[in-house]
Amino acid sequence: MYVDYKDVELLKKLVNRHSRIVGRRKTGCTAVSQHAVSDSIKRARFMALLPYVGD
């Protein structure tokens, strides 16, 4: 599975208001897709598309 790190609107739905990655139980993702989501969120944070900390 590939989740695009440039799709910021999708990634914002997968982090909470403190910018923590939401777990599998909340998102309903499989383990493979959750790994892809977490990798793309980390890559987007590194590229300064998402903040490391929330409000």
3-state DSSP assignment of residue 18: coil
Q: At residue 55, does pLDDT exceed 80? A: no
pTM: 0.89
| Angstrom distance (rounded) from CA 3 to CA 10 | 9
Average pLDDT on 31-54 reads 94
| Residue of higher predicted confidence among 1 and 50 | 50
Mean pLDDT of the chain: 92
4 token code pair: 């695009």
Backbone angles phi, psi at 22, to 5 degrees: -75, 140
Ramachandran class of 29: left when φ > 0, alpha when ψ lies in -120 to 50, beta otherwise: beta
The 10s digit of each residue's pLDDT in 13-23 is 999 999 999 99
